[in-house]
């Protein structure tokens, strides 16, 4: 096994570019999944089953099918429907949508974990529905779910390499490009592999401290 430090040095500028794209995709994907997941979770609590049923089916479908194929779908089908987005935007939407179907379960559990007494108190104080949600239920629910959401952010980080298949040059995309140009596969692939381990380990430390502060 030959390890070439020069190749590592040559790859590093590309690596930082890739890292930036990965983090961008991760940040935007997380925002979409947090927002959309909350929307799904709230829709699943509406009294009408004509809302609950379609939302349930669609999210179940998205959750049980590969993100890779969903990305292909968005990348090749959206332009046919007249919606042309950049590859990164398509990828961010794909990841955000896919993970929103997971975060909705987290929110659901968080909302259910709010004690019944809180609901009853809100009713007793004659709070309107929107205000009950805004100032009583959601602040307590979201506080509980932050660590679990953080878990999904880390899971999302590990799915960002899939954006490579729709031509986004994130870490793996950069590594593959470099490897094909220089015929050196070992160094770039190992560098990004280690980078993933380091980033997800650091993120898990961060999550642990967040968990200690928020969940008591």
Q: Which residues would be at the binding site for another protein (CB under 8 A)?
A: 1-2, 61, 63-70, 72-73, 76-77, 80-81, 102, 105-106, 109-110, 113, 144-148, 150-152, 154-155, 157-162, 164-165, 172, 175-176, 179, 185-186, 189-190, 192-193, 196-198, 200-201, 203-204, 207-208, 211, 215
Shortest distance, position 134 Cβ to another protein, whole Å? 20
- In the complex with another protein, the residue whose CB is nearer, 82 or 128, is 82
Shortest distance, position 153 Cβ to another protein, whole Å? 9
Q: Spell out the residues 6+ positions from residue 162 whose beta carbon is closer than 8 angstroms to its own.
A: 67, 68, 71, 91, 95
Phi, psi of 97 (to 5 degrees): -65, -45
Shortest distance, position 164 Cβ to another protein, whole Å? 8
- The H-assigned helical ranges of 44-86 are 49-63, 67-80
- Rounded Cα distance, 102 and 129, in Å: 26
- In the complex with another protein, the residue whose CB is nearer, 30 or 105, is 105
- Rounded Cα distance, 77 and 79, in Å: 6
- In the complex with another protein, the residue whose CB is nearer, 14 or 144, is 144
- In the complex with another protein, the residue whose CB is nearer, 3 or 130, is 3
CB distance 163 to 87 below 8 Å: yes
Shortest distance, position 128 Cβ to another protein, whole Å? 27
- Rounded Cα distance, 79 and 165, in Å: 17
């Amino acid at each position: 096994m030959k390890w070439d430090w020069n190749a590592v040095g040559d790859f590093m500028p590309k690596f930082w570019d890739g890292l930036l794209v990965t983090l961008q995709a991760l940040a935007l994907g997380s925002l979409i999944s947090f927002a959309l997941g909350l929307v799904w979770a709230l829709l699943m609590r509406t009294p009408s089953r004509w809302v609950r049923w379609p939302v349930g089916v669609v999210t179940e479908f998205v959750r049980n099918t590969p993100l890779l194929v969903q990305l292909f779908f968005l990348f090749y089908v959206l332009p046919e429907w007249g919606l042309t987005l950049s590859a990164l935007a398509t990828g961010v939407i794909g990841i955000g949508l896919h993970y929103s179907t997971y975060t909705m379960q987290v929110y659901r559990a968080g909302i259910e974990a709010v004690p019944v007494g809180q609901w009853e108190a809100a009713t007793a104080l004659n709070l309107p529905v929107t205000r009950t949600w805004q100032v009583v239920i959601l602040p307590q629910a979201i506080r509980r779910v932050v660590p679990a959401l953080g878990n999904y952010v880390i899971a999302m980080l590990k799915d960002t390499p899939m954006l490579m298949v729709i031509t986004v040059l994130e870490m793996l995309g950069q590594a593959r490009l470099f490897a094909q140009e220089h015929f050196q596969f070992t160094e770039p692939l190992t560098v990004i592999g280690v980078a993933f381990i380091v980033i997800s380990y650091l993120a898990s430390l961060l999550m642990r401290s967040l968990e200690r502060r928020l969940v008591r």
